[in-house]
Amino acid sequence: MPRPDRSSTGGNDQRAAKLDQLRKEARSADRRRTASLWVVAVAIVALVGGLVTWQIARDPAGGDLSAVKSYDNLGREHVTAGKADYPQTPAVGGDHHPAWWNCGIYTEEIPEYHAVHSLEHGAVWLTYEPGLPQADLEKLQKLASQEFMLLSPVKGQDSPIKATAWGKQLSVDSADDTRIADFIRTYRQGPQTPEPGAACTGGTTTDLAP
């Protein structure tokens, strides 16, 4: 049985139709190429976006600690004779007394050469200029109510409140500054600790320097 579409059309018509078909195919191939370029581009952008989002979301300690000052090449010797002199107030590290100061909350000044040894064991030392308002002091006491924390007043420090770990120090103006908690989370027994695992109990609460 003859098929109606092939029965009687002329050769010219057939060629024109074929040409038209080829042009159409070329155009759609072009479109496909453009589209696939877009597809790849958008996919890459989305992929990078996904990765960056994850990367940002995964840091648990968080907080902006860019104001933390770092100190290197700190002495680690045990010295009993005389009193070590420290360039920072309060000291951020250096030679210290063989006895560490027991972690806890103190309302009197504590000897730096003992406290520095506690820093070496991973303690964070919160200090404040004497005369800090009671409400602010209570906020610091709450922050210091965990293991490996020292809290004490320090006369003559150049900021109302400071947070100190071995080789690290942050100065803040207010007890409400959330960077204090960020500092504790990052540096309390943090990676900068020279002697991780050493205790912050069983040391001394008495000044043992001669």
Say how far apart CA 181 and CA 62 lie, in whole Å. Answer: 10
Contact range with another protein by CB under 8 A, out of 69-77, 157-165, 170-178, 190-198: 190-198
**In angstroms, what is the minimal distance from the CB of 167 to another protein?**
17
Applying CB under 8 A, the span of 50-58, 64-72, 77-85, 155-163 interacting with another protein comes to: 50-58
Shortest CB 156 distance to another protein, Å: 28
Contact 141, 121 (CB under 8 A): no
With binding defined as CB under 8 A, does residue 60 bind another protein? yes
Distance (Å, whole) CA 51 – CA 58: 11
Helices (H), the chain: 11-57, 112-120, 134-143, 179-187
Size of the site for another protein (CB under 8 A): 41
Candidates 43-51, 66-74, 107-115, 163-171 — which segment interacts with another protein by CB under 8 A?
A: 43-51
Q: Name the strands in the sheet holding 124-128, side by side, starting at the edge strand that comes first in the sequence.
A: 69-70, 168-172, 161-165, 124-128, 149-153, 104-105
Least separation, in Å, of the C-beta of 69 and another protein?
20
- Cα 164 → chain centroid: 16
Q: How far is the CB of 13 from another protein (least distance, A)?
A: 16
Strand 149-153 relative to strand 69-70, pairing? unpaired
- Find the shortest distance in angstroms from Cβ 209 to another protein: 21
| Cβ-based neighbour number of residue 209 at 10 Å | 15
Name beta bridge partners: 70: 168
Choice from 177, 190, 195, 208 touching another protein (CB under 8 A):
190
Nearer to another protein, 56 or 81 (CB): 56
Write the DSSP symbol of residue 168. Answer: E
* Nearer to another protein among residue 82 and residue 191 (C-beta): 191
Q: Which SS3 state, helix, strand or coil, does residue 119 take?
A: helix
Say how far apart CA 1 and CA 197 lie, in whole Å: 95
Interacting span for another protein (CB under 8 A) from 10-18, 47-55, 68-76, 84-92 = 47-55
Which residues make up the interface to another protein (CB under 8 A)? 28, 31, 34-36, 38-40, 42-51, 53-55, 58, 60-61, 122, 145-148, 184-186, 188-191, 196-197, 199, 201-202
